[in-house]
Structure formats: structure tokens, C-alpha cells
Amino acid sequence: MNIKSTLLALWALLTLLALAATAQAASVNVAVAANFAVPMQRIAQQFERETGFRAVLSVASTGRLYAQIRHGAPFDVMLSADDRAPARLIEGGHAVAGTRFTYAIGRLVLWSRDPNLVDAEGAVLRSAPFTRIALADPKVAPYGAAAVETMTHMGVWSGLQARAVFGDSIAQAYHFAASQNAQLGFVALSQVFVEGQLTSGSAWVVPQSFYTPIRQDAVLLQRGAANPAATALLAYLRTEPALTIIRAFGYDH
């Protein structure tokens, strides 16, 4: 190969590398807590239309996402279902200090596909005309922990524990209740209410005084520190278009 051919080959290689780097910079890999999956899909579509950046979403329980990030999963941003996991990621050097903020405050709801089962006060938990109740695993999912806290507050957890069916995330807990493998379940308000309206079945929105506030924090991970799409997404979550979607699904912020 002569010098000219070598230079052309080198130029082509550098061009390809530059294009690859540009493509990578134009997307952001986002670890999304399961309760926020549907709102985040809408936000991601709007974010791409308005900025040109693409958000690639991976959905799981907060506990599982936290473990994956600690073991090197290639995420740029985490949208947690609590404020503890992002704080611990910063402490462990996996996330960037000063980038954590609360993007939403979640609400817990007791829901059944049966339109006549759940009353407006949650008294169904005391009368117990059911054999199974679904909730997310409290060890890995903040909404599951809030469900246990609620039932403990009401004094019914010890009697209902044997009937509990645990999902590995709030999405699976919802699936159990929606498929009626469990007659009712504790799920996220965002899964069954849109624009203040119950989408189906019957529900009791649990008073927030019954459980520790579910402060859902976002954080920039070390892998995304040099990615403009990652910082753009975090900024976008604070804009009115994103907040409008967040409020539509029943979150406070």
C-alpha cells in the first residue's frame, strides 16, 4: 500500500470513529425505575423531538438498577424510585456529586381490576375478602417498602403477610393484579390514574401520612459525565413540558 492509500485509509478510519462518537453522544442510556416507565417513554419521545437527543430506556426495580450500576452497567443517568440509591451511588463514586435532584414524588395506591372490590377508605384490607394481595419486593422496590409500611401503619400486615405475592418490581406487582393472579395489589398511582382519572377497576389512594414520602431522585452517572445528551436530559426533566407529563400521571414534584 502506497502512502496515498495509507493516508486515505487512515482518513476513512478517523471519519468512522468520529461518526461513531457523534452517534454515541447523541443518545443517553437511562436506568428507569419501573413505576416511571410509561411517563418516561412519553418524556423521551418529546425530548427527542425537541432536542434531537435519543433516550434509550432500561426499566427495572430501583434495587436491581442500583446493583447493575455498581457492577458497571453502561448507564448514563439513573431515575430512581427513591432518594437513597442515587445518594449511595454518589458516595460510592458511581455518580456525579451535585447532580442529584427530585424529579417526582410518587403516590401509592391499592388497586383491583374488580370495580367493586376496593373501597375509598381501604377498609377492604381489614375485611380481607381476597386470597392474594400483590406488592413489589420491599427489599428492592421503594413502592413495595411503602406498601408494607402502609399495612403496618393500619395494623393489618401480620394478618395479610401470608397472602402477599411479591413482584420483583412495581411493574410485576401491577401485572399480578391486572391479570387477577392476585385480586388486588399495591401499585404506583401512575400505573392506574391518568389526568386524575382511574383507568379501570377500583382504587384507594393511600394517604401520604401512612408511609415515608417516595422522593424519586435523578442523578448523572460517571459514565454520562461527558455526554451532552445525559446532561440535556436531566435539564429537560425540569422543564414545563416534562413536568406537565409528570403531573398528568399523578406525581408531585
Q: What domains sit in the chain, N to C, each tagged with a CATH number?
A: 3-105+214-248 (3.40.190.10), 108-205 (3.40.190.10)
pLDDT tens per residue across span 159-208: 999 999 999 999 999 999 999 999 999 999 999 998 889 999 999 999 99
Extract the residue ranges of the chain whose pLDDT is less than 50.
Answer: 5-9, 11-24
Task: Please give the DSSP secondary-structure letter assigned to residue 41.
Answer: H
Phi-psi region of 180 (alpha: psi -120 to 50; beta: other; left: phi over 0): left
- CA–CA distances in Å: residue 86 to residues 28, 80, 156: 17, 7, 32
Q: Which pLDDT score is estimated for 2? A: 58
Taking the complete model, does pTM exceed 0.95, yes or no? no
Q: Are 164 and 202 in contact (CB under 8 A)?
A: no
For residues 104 and 246, is the Cβ–Cβ distance under 8 A?
A: yes
| Alpha carbon distance 52, 187 (integer Å) | 33
The answer for residues whose C-beta is within 8 angstroms of residue 119's C-beta and 6 or more apart is 202, 204
